[in-house]
Structure 1
Amino acid sequence: MFSNMKARALVNRRIVLTPIAFVEMLLWEVPFPVRGSKHSYKYGLALVVGGVCILRYDNEAGKGDHRHVGMEEHPYRFEGVDRLIADFEGDVRRWLDEHADA
């Protein structure tokens, strides 16, 4: 099924939230799962404030699905693209609510 398929961009956007904060969302469908993941997606979703990555969801090869909150890394249970984006957006909203001055 995927033997001749190349990576296909599904999401590639940057959303400016404030003068110093933005969200970057990159998501690809890939022909084979990234090492450490069990699905055919490669992604990196990030909240950057003042040039510092505050929150990031990704599935770096070898690490599998996980999220970074500040300097901490936590496993993430991937349950589909829609859920991934909803979880990320929920975390972004919570962070912005808690840090209204950002």
Structure 2
Amino acid sequence: MPISLRGSLHTIKYRLALIAEGTCVLRYDNEAGKGDHKHLGATEVSYVFESVDKLLADFMQDVKGWFDDNA
């Protein structure tokens, strides 16, 4: 049986990132010990993981928002 990553309540390990001009401007990940969270520029905020589909939808919504704000 798979074991949850320390800090997460699920067994999914993920890291999604948007890189612009060589800089990570948006990242969703779940480092061991930190659990699920996202980085918006230099700011780190908690993220509630519900499913892979929701994770991808949330990430793509933030990607769209970043492009809308930086057009």
**TM alignment of 1:3-18, pairs within 5 A:** none
Aligned to 1:32: 3
Q: Which runs of 5+ in 1 are unaligned?
A: 3-30
CA offset digits 1:69-96 (Å, max 9, x no partner): 0001000001111000000000000100
Q: CA RMSD in A?
A: 0.6
The count of residues paired between Structure 1 and Structure 2 equals: 71
Q: Which has the higher contact order (CA 8 A, sep 6+)?
A: 2
User: Which residue identity lines up with residue 94 of structure 1 in the other structure?
Assistant: G
- More strand as a share of residues: 1
Aligned to 2:36: 65
Structure 1 residue 32: Cα displacement: 1.5
Aligned to 1:75: 46
Mark the structure with the bigger radius of gyration: 1
TM value normalised by structure 1? 0.68
TM value normalised by structure 2? 0.96
Identity of aligned residues (%): 58
